[in-house]
Chain A
Amino acid sequence: MRKSKTFLEQLCHSLGKNNDASYAVVAVATAKGIFRPMFTMMDKHEDYETKKYTALREGLTEAIAIPCYLSVAWAAKNLVAPTICKSKTSDQVKKAAKTLSFLGVCTAALVIIPAACSAMINPIMKFLKEKKNHKKCCLEHHLDIKETPTQLPTLAMQPLSSTSGQLSKTYAAFNPMKLNTGLTIGGSN
């Protein structure tokens, strides 16, 4: 109990002394990244695939937004502020860093994040879709291989009464090995 209070006091002290605009926006973005996909998945009116797509897109947006906010605020504080306030005291550089961090957060929210999202989300979604399709294709392919041998006994049994030449031709037409090796038996195709 005493330990948690000390932590709370420390947290309040550091927030009171050095609050930054990026703290609140990152906290909001993190919560949005968790709750927005959750609310989307809880929607009963949409079908599962649409929900999954929307939730993934919302999660990705916030996942892009968080590093954007942090990097812009960091750059404003550590790169821009010392450059602009070269002739000022360290206390004034700190003050400028706070203002610049806030301006950076505003710029990130207004321009950088929408631009980064439009540049990154579509390729990521395309990649994920292709990966999913590839997986689906592989699964179907595996199922075909498993299914074809079950047809073999009936096909092989049928031409028993016919001549051996006919048997070899029929077997060659339905040979599952043909799919994998590309070999042709009996000179057909």
Chain B
Amino acid sequence: MLNSISNVLTNNTFVNIAQSTKAAMSIETGLKATGRPAFILMDKNITPETKKYAATKELLYQLTCLGVYMGLVLPVFRKCGFKAFKSIFKNKHGYDKFNNLDEFTNFQRLKGMSLTERTEEIKKLEEKAGEGKKVFTESIYNKLKKNNLNSNQYTIIKGADELSSICGSVAGLAILAPQVSHVTIHPILKMLNMDKKSSTDKSEQKLDTKA
């Protein structure tokens, strides 16, 4: 039993997800978006109206966070971060071997594959890019043709990418997402007829008719 659990925990895919800021934050926000409203709905101490309102509000907030994070912050921050660090480190630490972030991300992905899988994947990438276009620089092509790749290569580039992701996460989840949700959530709740004011008005009207 313990052996099978430890086998899952040491699986390279899981380890890579756990060490990637982007994947970890996205999964965490996704879990929050599903788990928190579920917990609110399970609460027995509040009225069904309030439960519905709070759960929808929480779901919308977490979805806004996820949207801002995935759609706006990460692509911008990671790409800008790559360019910024390339100029800060003046093409040292392996930055001269990658023209952009996509090349580095693809290299990181291919690194863990076997040689046959790698060659197939390179062909697919070249087809996607168009005829005659190269997806890697010459030195990276040569490295990918070798059987055993050093897994600790380009740690500074990887770290710089993670640092950009952390900065993006902070800017997106702590500053940008609350502002976006502040603007968007109330109109959406109003559209769904779940605004707090309208619900209280309804309950007051019900009380008036009874009186």
Contacts and interface: CB of A to CB of B under 8 A. Distances in A.
Interface stretch (A103-111, A153-161, A162-170): A103-111
Contact of A114 (B6, B10, B39, B162): B39
A110 B32 CA distance: 6
Interface in A71-111: 81, 84-88, 92, 95-96, 98-103, 105-106, 109-111
A96 B152 contact: no
Interface stretch (B113-121, B122-130, B170-178): B170-178
A27, A87, A111: residue with the most chain B Cβ atoms closer than 10 Å: A27
B209 interface: no
Interface stretch (A10-18, A47-55, A120-128, A175-183): A10-18
User: How large, as a class, is the contact surface on chain A?
Assistant: 35 or more
A57 interface: no
B19 interface: yes
Given A24-B169, A110-B35, A16 B28 contact: no
Contacts of B36: 110, 114
B133 to A, nearest CB: 29
A9 interface: yes
Interface stretch (B136-144, B153-161, B191-199): B153-161
A9 B92 CA distance: 11
Given A31-B174, A88-B6, A110-B32, A99 B15 contact: yes
B interface residue count range (under 10 / 10 to 19 / 20 to 34 / 35 or more): 35 or more
Given A9-B93, A16-B159, A99-B15, A27 B170 contact: yes
A21 B18 contact: yes
B24 to A, nearest CB: 4
B156 A20 contact: no
A5 B89 CA distance: 8
Interface of A is mostly: helix
Contact of A95 (B5, B15, B163): B15
B211 interface: no
A20 B19 CA distance: 5
Nearest to B175: A35
Given A95-B9, A96-B6, A109-B32, A12 B159 contact: yes
B160 A24 contact: no
Given A20-B19, A114-B39, A84 B174 contact: no
B150 interface: no
Contacts of A13: 155-156, 159
Contacts of B161: 16
A20 B15 CA distance: 10
Interface string A30-43: 01101110010000
Among A31, A99, A101, A103, the one with the most B-chain Cβ atoms within 10 Å of its Cβ is A99
A62 to B, nearest CB: 9
B166 A24 contact: yes
B82 to A, nearest CB: 12
Nearest to B22: A24
Given A28-B174, A31-B170, A85-B9, A17 B155 contact: yes
A19 B157 contact: no
A116 interface: no
A17 B126 CA distance: 30
A87 B166 CA distance: 34
Given A12-B159, A88-B6, A95-B10, 17 more contacts: A13-B155, A15-B163, A20-B19, A23-B21, A24-B166, A25-B24, A25-B25, A31-B170, A34-B174, A39-B178, A86-B2, A87-B3, A96-B9, A98-B19, A102-B18, A106-B27, A106-B31
6 contacts: A16-B157, A16-B159, A25-B25, A31-B170, A35-B174, A36-B178
